[in-house]
C-alpha cells in the first residue's frame, strides 16, 4: 500500500489584487457571476483567478505561435522538461513514442492527464510512462503544468508533477486550418490539416475535431550537430560518429584489431576504406564505418486524430458528459546495418598487417607470420602507418567483426493507436457537488523491423567451408525480420464529492478503482536471443488498485492558502 500526505502553507504578496480593491463600489453590483473551475493540483473548485499552485499555462494560441507541429514537441520544449526526454527518433522507445520528464525525475514519475483523466502508460514503455505523441493537437484548449509533487492528490506517478491537457469544450463554429513548413536544410518538412466543429443548444453542446499531420525524416548526415566529424584525421580516436564495426579481424589471443584486405577502395567505408591508426590503442588499425551517413535522428511521422465531446444538461443539478479520443501515429526510423562478430579460424580472412610508426620515430611491424610481438612494442603513442600493402591470411584463430552492409539498412515501422472514452456525471445534492466517471482506454502498438540478422543461422553458416558473409545467397539465409505487438488496457471508475464548510473551508473526498492489463509479444527470434542488431523479449502482467483520497482547503488567512491532502492506494 502507498500512502501520501501533504501539508502546504504558502504566503504570497498580493500585488495583483491591489487594482481590484481600488475599483468603484458599483463594480461589485455589475460584476458577472464568477464560474468556479478545477485547477490542476487540486480537486476543489475555485474561482479561476484564485489559487497559488505553481501551475504553468500553455494556451492553444501559445501552441500555434510556437511553430511546433504537435503537443509532444511543445511539451518537450518547455523548461519544466528539465533534463530532456524521449522523442520519436533514434534511441527512443519507438518511432511513434515520446514522453515528458518533469524536473528530470523521469516519465514514470510524471503524470499526464487528458481532460483531468489519467493517460495510461504506453505499451512500448512497459506501461510506465505516457505516450504524449498520441495527444490530438487541434482539440487542445490549454495545457496546465504543475511542477509540484501531487502524489497525495493523484497517486505515486505524480511525484514529479502533473501535465493536464485540457480539450476544447465551449466552442461554437467551424475552424479549418492547414499549413506546410519546410526547413532550409534537408528533411523535416511538415504538413498539417485540421478541422474543429462545435455547437451548443439550450441544454447540450458538442465539439468535434479531426487532424492529420505529416513530418519527413531528419537524417543525422543532414545536420552539423549529428553528422560525423573530424574524419580528415589519420587517427581513429579523433573521429566522431564512426564505428570500428566495419570489416575488422580481431586476434583471438591479443585482441588486436586489424582491417580486412577488402576494405581499401570500398566506398561504403570512411574515405573509401582508408586505414587509420588508433591513438587510444597502440597496435590497432581501423577501417571505419560512418553510421551517421545512414541513420535517422527524427523519425518520419504520419498521424491522424479524432476527438469528440458531448455534454447534456439534464437539470440545474445534473449534467452528463461523454468524451472519445482516437489517435494513430505511424513512424519510421532507419538505422545503419547491424554489426556482429563470428568465429574466424586461422586463414579464413585476408587482413592487412601494417607497420606502426610511433611518435618518437620508432617502428613496429609484424613478423613473417603476420604476428606482432608486444614485448618489443615501443612506448608512447602511434603517429602513423606504413606498408599498408602488406596482406596475409589471418595467422591465428580470431573473430570477424563485420558491418552487415550487404544485408541492407535496418528499418523500423511503428504504428501506435490510442482509443480512450470517458463517460461522466456531474451533479449537486444539497450542499454537496459530486463527480462520477468511467474511463475505458486502450493503447496498442505494432512494430515491424527489417534487415536484422538471425544469429543461429549466421553462426551455423559461418562454420561452413568457404563462408563469405557478403555473398548474396548467404545474406538471404541469415536475414531476419522482427515484430512486436504491445498493448496496455486501462479501466477506471471514479467517484468524488465536495462542499464548502462556511466561507473559508472547502473539502473534497472520494475513491477510484482502476485496472491495468499489459502484454508485449515479441517474435520468436528475439525471445530466443537469436537476433543481432535488436533485443527484447515478451512480457505481460495485470494489476488493479483502489484509492481513497481526501483534501481540504482553508482560505481564511489573508494572502495565504493552507491545504491538506491525503491519499491511500
Note whether 478 and 531 are same-domain residues: yes
* Three-state SS at 352: strand
Beta-carbon contacts of 237 under 8 Å, excluding residues fewer than 6 positions away, are 278, 279, 280
Cell 530466443 locates to: 528
Of 407, 437, 456, the residue at which a domain comes to its end is 407
| Residue 42: predicted pLDDT | 86
Identify whether the C-beta of residue 47 lies closer than 8 Å to the C-beta of residue 34: yes
Of 362, 377, 407, the residue at which a domain comes to its end is 407
Secondary element (H or E) of residue 473: helix 472-478
| Residue 51: predicted pLDDT | 55
Note whether 98 and 158 are same-domain residues: yes
Identify whether the C-beta of residue 478 lies closer than 8 Å to the C-beta of residue 410: no
| Residue 29: predicted pLDDT | 43
Note whether 174 and 254 are same-domain residues: no
Rounded Cα gap, residues 340 and 168, in angstroms: 51
Note whether 483 and 530 are same-domain residues: yes
pLDDT along the chain (569 residues), means of 10: 43 33 41 59 71 80 90 89 76 78 87 92 86 91 90 90 92 94 94 96 95 95 96 97 94 96 95 96 96 92 96 96 96 93 90 96 96 95 96 95 93 95 96 97 95 91 83 93 96 97 93 96 94 91 96 88 93
Residue 416, all three cell numbers: 501506435
Summary count for the chain: helices (H), strands (E): 8, 35
Note whether 192 and 233 are same-domain residues: no
Beta-carbon contacts of 353 under 8 Å, excluding residues fewer than 6 positions away, are 258, 365, 366, 370, 372, 390, 391, 392
Note whether 226 and 362 are same-domain residues: yes
Note whether 145 and 268 are same-domain residues: no
Note whether 419 and 430 are same-domain residues: yes
Note whether 262 and 321 are same-domain residues: no
Note whether 89 and 183 are same-domain residues: yes
Of 388, 407, 426, the residue at which a domain comes to its end is 407
pTM for this entry: 0.85
Residue 126 phi/psi, 5-degree rounding, is 55, 30
| Residue 428: predicted pLDDT | 96
DSSP 28-77: HHHPPPPPEEEPTT-SSEEETT-----EEEEEHHHHHHHT-SSHHHHHHT
| Residue 124: predicted pLDDT | 86
| Residue 555: predicted pLDDT | 87
| Residue 21: predicted pLDDT | 33
Beta-carbon contacts of 204 under 8 Å, excluding residues fewer than 6 positions away, are 310, 311, 312, 313
Q: Which domain holds residue 288?
A: 219-297+343-407
DSSP 274-327: -EEE-TTSTT-EEE-EEGGGT-EEEPEEEEEEEEEEEEEEEETTEEEEEEEEEE
DSSP 434-455: EEEEEEEEEEEEEEEEEEEEEH
Note whether 545 and 465 are same-domain residues: yes
How many independent structural domains does the chain possess? 2
| Residue 104: predicted pLDDT | 86
Q: 381 to each of 257, 276, 385, how far by Cα in Å?
A: 16, 14, 12
Note whether 452 and 469 are same-domain residues: yes
Amino acid at each position: 500500500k502507498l500512502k501520501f500526505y501533504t501539508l502546504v502553507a504558502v504566503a504570497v504578496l498580493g500585488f495583483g489584487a491591489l487594482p481590484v480593491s481600488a475599483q468603484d463600489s458599483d463594480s461589485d453590483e455589475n460584476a458577472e457571476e464568477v464560474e468556479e473551475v478545477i485547477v490542476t493540483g487540486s480537486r476543489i473548485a475555485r474561482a479561476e483567478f484564485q489559487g497559488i499552485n505553481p501551475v504553468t499555462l500553455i494556451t492553444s494560441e501559445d501552441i500555434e505561435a510556437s511553430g511546433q507541429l504537435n503537443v509532444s514537441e511543445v511539451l518537450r520544449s518547455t523548461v519544466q522538461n528539465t533534463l530532456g526526454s524521449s522523442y520519436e527518433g533514434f534511441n527512443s522507445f519507438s518511432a511513434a513514442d515520446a514522453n515528458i520528464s518533469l524536473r528530470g525525475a523521469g516519465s514514470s514519475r510524471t503524470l499526464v492527464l487528458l481532460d483531468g483523466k489519467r493517460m495510461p502508460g504506453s505499451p512500448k514503455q512497459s506501461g510506465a510512462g505516457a505516450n504524449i505523441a498520441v495527444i490530438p493537437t487541434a482539440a487542445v484548449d490549454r495545457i496546465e503544468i504543475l511542477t509540484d509533487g501531487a502524489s497525495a492528490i493523484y497517486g505515486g506517478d505524480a511525484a514529479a508533477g502533473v501535465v493536464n491537457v485540457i480539450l476544447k469544450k465551449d466552442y461554437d463554429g467551424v475552424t479549418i486550418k492547414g499549413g506546410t513548413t519546410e526547413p532550409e536544410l534537408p528533411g523535416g518538412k511538415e504538413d498539417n490539416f485540421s478541422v474543429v466543429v462545435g455547437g451548443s443548444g439550450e441544454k447540450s453542446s458538442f465539439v468535434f475535431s479531426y487532424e492529420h499531420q505529416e513530418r519527413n525524416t531528419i537524417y543525422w548526415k543532414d545536420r552539423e550537430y549529428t553528422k560525423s566529424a573530424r574524419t580528415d584525421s589519420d587517427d581513429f580516436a579523433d573521429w566522431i560518429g564512426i564505428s570500428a564495426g566495419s570489416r575488422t579481424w580481431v586476434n583471438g589471443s591479443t585482441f588486436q584489431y586489424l582491417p580486412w584486405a577488402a576494405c581499401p577502395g570500398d566506398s561504403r567505408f570512411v574515405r573509401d576504406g582508408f586505414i587509420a591508426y588508433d591513438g587510444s590503442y597502440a597496435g590497432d588499425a581501423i577501417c571505419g564505418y560512418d553510421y551517421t551517413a545512414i541513420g535517422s535522428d527524427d523519425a518520419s511521422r504520419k498521424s491522424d486524430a479524432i476527438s469528440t465531446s458531448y455534454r447534456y444538461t439534464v437539470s440545474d443539478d445534473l449534467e452528463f458528459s461523454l468524451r472519445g479520443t482516437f489517435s494513430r501515429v505511424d513512424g519510421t526510423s532507419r538505422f545503419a546495418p547491424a554489426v556482429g562478430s563470428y568465429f574466424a579460424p586461422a586463414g579464413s580472412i585476408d587482413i592487412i598487417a601494417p607497420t606502426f610508426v610511433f611518435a618518437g620515430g620508432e617502428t613496429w611491424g609484424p613478423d613473417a607470420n603476420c604476428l606482432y610481438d608486444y614485448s618489443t612494442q615501443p612506448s608512447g603513442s602511434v603517429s602513423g602507418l606504413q606498408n599498408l600493402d602488406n596482406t596475409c591470411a589471418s595467422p591465428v584463430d580470431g573473430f570477424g567483426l563485420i558491418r552487415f552492409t550487404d544485408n541492407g539498412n535496418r528499418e523500423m515501422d511503428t504504428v501506435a493507436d490510442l482509443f480512450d472514452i470517458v463517460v461522466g456525471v456531474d451533479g449537486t445534492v444539497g450542499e454537496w457537488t459530486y463527480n462520477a466517471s468511467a474511463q475505458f482506454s486502450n493503447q496498442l502498438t505494432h512494430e515491424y523491423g527489417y534487415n536484422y540478422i538471425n544469429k543461429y543461422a549466421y553462426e551455423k553458416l559461418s562454420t561452413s567451408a568457404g563462408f563469405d558473409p557478403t555473398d548474396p545467397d548467404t545474406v538471404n539465409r541469415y536475414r531476419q525480420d522482427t515484430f512486436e505487438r504491445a498493448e496496455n488496457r486501462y479501466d477506471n471508475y471514479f467517484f468524488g464529492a465536495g462542499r464548502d464548510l462556511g466561507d473559508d473551508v472547502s473539502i473534497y473526498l472520494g475513491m477510484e478503482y482502476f485496472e491495468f492489463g499489459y502484454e508485449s509479444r515479441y517474435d520468436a527470434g528475439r525471445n530466443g536471443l537469436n537476433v543481432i542488431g535488436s533485443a527484447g523479449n515478451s512480457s505481460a502482467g495485470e494489476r488493479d488498485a483502489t484509492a481513497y483520497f481526501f483534501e481540504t482547503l482553508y482560505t481564511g488567512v489573508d494572502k495565504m492558502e493552507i491545504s491538506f491532502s491525503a491519499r491511500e492506494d
